Chain A
């Protein structure tokens, strides 16, 4: 037997749900030692965090039920020890941090209290815990540690909260730190900082790190070993380099193939007529400036990407153009006419020509309407196609166009997977035969493999139907694959614009450079090179 510090052996967990028993993980085995980083890579539904939750004894049972297997820590099987023994290990020997620190920190207690509790819960005196907390808050890079102790979670930014979570996890110098998607909710530049912090702390303390992620880039950046999970099973294990260059399992190959940012860059057709133009759009919310003098133009057949981190104003831009939000000043010209001052009648016409695809199809499709009703609603609104037989034929046609079976028309959104739902949303947008589709983070909620399919679909629609796209995204890889022109936004302003090739190959603005540098490459060798190149800066 191996002598790993933490070892999961043949773990199987079932979930008892409304639709029967789901085998969440089947015969999963992995191990991690001191000083080592193991990545568990998988898409949603792969069961990648189930085994870690079992290690921490935080699976919800029911519906979860551990069918078999062992979890060895320091020679004892954690699945057999008493509740009290396991509790005493949690936090002290094995600690965990989570994806969304805002919901994982208790909103009604101060950060200091919560960090200190990590030690007092294990019987250490409070004053000692306080001193250690101060030291660690400083160590993770929070400016005024003393003040931070007395603040509440909502008073910090997302990146700071994750740093505080890390400080909390390290209070008792655990042997193992489990990090469940620790950077997924963060902007790329902050993700890079947090990953760097984790690496530094690991080097200092010598702890073992288990990192659960869906992101090949994160794996390339930080992991020593990786296990790839699909449908509850480990399909492949090895070093990141081996897996990336020499994947054996078809699923792994598909996953690597779907990683964005590898396609050929598109070129802009400069002669096409102007479709949409904004001039000095401004919008403030109280003190906060969401848009400041934003001017851009979009030509027929073009796909223009607006890139930026959270709070950059990119979504406000889309919402202002669509008049979901009233801009404070400026103009948005649609074929030469100002959208922002249009009367109700012209506005209705415009609403037929511009459609939008939202980030989360679960929320953008009314759960109480059938697919047929969803797609045909636009015709009701604009009094088009009164003939029912024609409508049914057209709905079937649209469903086929987005890669869904026509029989799906009678079903409801909850009966579909996330990727299928986004296809329905796209079919709905196509129903009115728009000239422009605005995609607001339309693929960021989807798994990588699904993401690639949806991007391919949008690309195909653009080529076949000549639809223009305003593509709002934070993921640079996706933007590189889809857009022909890129606009980079920061704090409500456009800092750089140009053809995609120019932005990616020769960025001029420091912010664009930082953004690109922070973007992780799925290829471990490339990522190692970039790390070296970026290190002096």
Chain B
């Protein structure tokens, strides 16, 4: 039965005129004797499906078949509701280069500060809530074909471009005019963190994208209450809020970040995930969100070369192994999800990967649900799609077997009651062994392959075959071959009856002969070679454990709080007791419980501190570790609205490296590209915890300011140096203006009149109200002085000057103002404004009564800040005890957390480091590092972790090699770059990701 596809298809009345004679048909089909999945959880055997005019009329066992139905016998066939993909750009205008900005090379073009889009739209091009996919939707044959071959019957299509992407439309995948395939015009509002094709600079960082979204929510609220401004985008933004909100995220942490925004504005997003959700499942479950999960599992890496293999991180290897388990793990955790084919390279990968997910523990019914009922319900079209109940659109697939079986093939995909034939239902099964009789001669014919796609050979002996050419057409078969030793070919033509063929032919001499071929059985797969079983066992082996965070040195089991008694150590208390020799410290419930000699504590884990030094954990006041995708939102003079706390990256290996260097707390700062940077985050090195749980509870909020060469864009070429300010004179006016506006904003807010919540000025107001504190990147004395005077005029104080390399020139002024200093020990000469930097800076400022800290601004230096403190002794003769405070108690004071950390005092957090040697010495190693009384680093345990990293890598390398040898796809070894090492001058663009 080969159904011809009709060139015109119409249902009911239509508006289009007909050029010719109308050919309206009351199409009714009955599919009998099939195994029918009416829905994901309702399977009927020997059942009948009746459709009429593109709708399901009924599905059931023993249905009365309408007289006017075309009856199709589906014996042995399986019928499913066709799949729905919620994440598609089908029929959308061609995206240029998959979401990346075109028209200008971002890195080589001058900045564009405002939108270039004409009309009363939003100021930022990355926001296009007014876009409606259904208005531009154009059915595209090639795209539809790909989807149909994977079993899809409908997709939710949107333009994958920008942060607010407008609305999506649900369409079926028929080759019809848009009028008949659009099922629902506007289904969902789509969002992402990627600005896509927007040429504007802002936002240039992930935290900027987050701030822009938050501000837009506030702007929407404001817009609804005001009358002065007409804004098409904001009106549309408000209109789309009632729809489901689908948020594309780049990874599991982005989902948490977006969920936080959702929480703030009362939105529960539907996430299009990245396939790594299994790595932070508990936190994602807590968001209450539903996920759209991709099935684009990574290919194995080429790891045969051991050196090249070094490039591939354990995290990449583990993800290769665990990605197929993602859906199963989410199902197990009770997180609802749909599945998408988005991201897959080839059409047929989808079924392969779907089966892989099922092999990896996803229940078949759950998989089916995630492709039918769940997406239908999420798109609000459960009444039309997702099952084969009466009245629904006749979207279904016909397969030769249970679709989760390896040999299952989709034969037909019916959409709107119209068949799309992928493979003829009557495709003959040719594979097998045949006895071929031609005249009096018998040959053994072997046909290997699948369906009508086979290779035929005459088997002469074990190692010799003669190829047979064949052709099949409507139950007729043609064969031709040249027997071994003959010159001329034998040509045969005949008919096929089931698996037996017979007919007439001409031999090499032109004589007519009778022939027949008799099926004798299947072609046996060749015996697998020895050793393959081992490989197979490796390939099928259970996956490795999850680790937190999902990188090398992550924990299988998170370390726990315990009671520790550190005995007989040299204890640097940073309190009036000074340095205690031969002292004991008891750690209990995460706090320092006792300090003294001869302490006793039942059940405590004793740690021998003989010959060792115990100090408070190191606090790095200026760090850029553990930050995702951009440390600067330096596109405007003020980006006070951005928050590093939104983009803490718990998976950064540098957190573990910090612990190995005795660092227990770091302030993660915005960069120094603009005068008013962003809000910082204070984190403890709780390796393995999720980003939120790493944050220092209850700490005061800080914000980064910056002065000098960076903010006046000294490093940029003329074409790029266009942002105000370009001089230190202008820098002052940025502050003067900012605080003037913040003051007025505060007055408006207090007045009770309606106002637009402005996240930029909110931060300024917090500063004025002494609820947020400034740490300011600074170098030369003039600007340092200037900023203090600005602050004094507005009635507040600069909390901390960071870098502050010329602080020694105005130390007395700083002390009088009340500013602290967080400096480098010895950096200089890297730019003009540090040509008078001196390593005696810390000592001189301290002499004048300034609270001095030394910081890193550098992931490498951060893990030896104790040595940097040692340089304060070398240069300037700071007493050793005071020098250690430069990296412990003093930064704690600067960050207002000295009540919690910074000294070894009963009641303070048990954030301590046990050093192998004098802590200011180059020879000192952090042997054990505790945070909240939890031992997060132990040099001995580190040896164990190294061994397990090696063992896990080795196991995965073997598994990848096994997969490759089996013919699986591979990709060349490549390094996912390490979490980027940021310094404050790095301007990272959030390019299309």
Partners in one complex: no
